[in-house]
A = this chain, B = another copy of it.
Amino acid sequence: MPKGTKIAFVGLGIMGSPMAGHLVAAGHDVTGFDLSSAALDRLEAQGGTAAHSVRDAFRGAEVVITMLPNHPQVEDVVFTNELDPGVLLVDMSTIRPSTSIAIAQRHPRSLDAPVSGGETGAKQASLSIMVGGEEADFAAAKPVLEVVGKTIVHVGPHGAGQVVKAANQLMVGGIYALVAEAIVLLEASGVDPKAGLDVLAGGLAANRILDLKRESMIAREFTPGFRIDLHHKDMGIALDAARQVDVALPVTGQIAQLIAAGRAQGYGSLDHSALLKVIENFSGRS
């Protein structure tokens, strides 16, 4: 897509707002829509155009990007507004793969393109983007995606981007739970958790979460970052994805309940590393 591509951007929240800003800055013609008028004002301040409705935003668009909370919002936008068959629809929301596949059945020229990297990645245009769909559509979307992301990978057919995102989220949730159990075991045994985790970080157990988060976890600092509430949503997607293809994932099933417990215990707005509190409370240590 050359500069000056007409892009409709639906969903201008914490992620969508900076992404739309980068697209404007890259020279594209961005018309955005969001239910929040503050979000629309922000877009205009960035040099984009505020639409009065999704339908209004869609008018004349060559590319439609959606960045929405979950599948009902995406369905609402995509299924109740007319979309020209030639438009390239890029859904960057994290939703269940089955919805991405259903969208592609109605609008074949679509990509599922969920991201990882969070708010920081959106602001710094350094997101990782996992893309499912046709090769030609991926090629067409790539220049636009490169404006907001650093690693952009075509992982397979429609829905594949969502499956990879689901796999990512189940691993991240699981590793947090394991680090939490290690910390609880070390502390309860009278071992300095920092010394212990330093050793673990140097061996086969090494992982990025241990690198980035072990100090804040030991200090019980849980400022998000990525909220438990969002990870809870994503674990629902992972289990739904497994169900759709008839596989049973025992550890994922358990991690989903631990994260649900985090939310139920009132930690929904904390960083997902607060899974440590769930594991602590389970042993009455808090």
Quick check: A185 and B241 within 8 Å, CB to CB? yes
Quick check: A116 and B204 within 8 Å, CB to CB? yes
Quick check: B97 and A155 within 8 Å, CB to CB? no
Quick check: B167 and A182 within 8 Å, CB to CB? yes
A159 contacts which chain B residues (CB < 8 A)? 189
Considering residues A236, A238, A249, A265, which has the most beta carbons from chain B within 10 angstroms of its beta carbon?
A: A249
Quick check: A253 and B251 within 8 Å, CB to CB? no
A166 contacts which chain B residues (CB < 8 A)? 185
Closest to A171 in B: B205
**If A185-B249, A248-B260 touch, does A170 touch B178 (CB 8 Å cutoff)?**
yes
A184 contacts which chain B residues (CB < 8 A)? 247, 249
CB under 8 Å from chain B, chain A span 186-231: 186, 188-192, 195-196, 198-200, 202-209, 212
Q: How many Å from the CB of A111 to the closest CB on chain B?
A: 14
The answer, among B164, B179, B212, B279, for a CB contact under 8 Å with A196, is: B164
Q: How many Å from the CB of A246 to the closest CB on chain B?
A: 5
Considering residues A203, A281, A285, which has the most beta carbons from chain B within 10 angstroms of its beta carbon?
A: A203
A155 contacts which chain B residues (CB < 8 A)? 191-192, 195-196, 199
Compute how far the CA of A284 lies from the CA of B248 in the bound complex, rounded to whole angstroms.
9
A130 contacts which chain B residues (CB < 8 A)? 196, 199
Quick check: B186 and A164 within 8 Å, CB to CB? yes
CB under 8 Å from chain B, chain A span 114-143: 116-117, 128, 130, 132
23 residue pairs bridging A and B, Cβ less than 8 Å apart: A151-B199, A154-B195, A155-B192, A155-B195, A164-B195, A164-B196, A166-B185, A167-B185, A167-B200, A168-B200, A170-B185, A171-B179, A185-B238, A189-B245, A205-B207, A206-B208, A247-B260, A247-B264, A247-B285, A261-B283, A261-B284, A264-B283, A265-B282
- Chain A: residues with CB nearer than 8 A to chain B? 97, 116-117, 128, 130, 132, 151, 153-157, 159-160, 163-164, 166-168, 170-172, 174-175, 177-179, 181-182, 184-186, 188-192, 195-196, 198-200, 202-209, 212, 236, 238-239, 241-258, 260-261, 263-266, 279, 281-285
**Across the A-B interface, the 8 shortest Cβ-Cβ residue pairs:** A207-B207, A265-B284, A248-B261, A248-B260, A171-B205, A253-B257, A167-B182, A247-B283
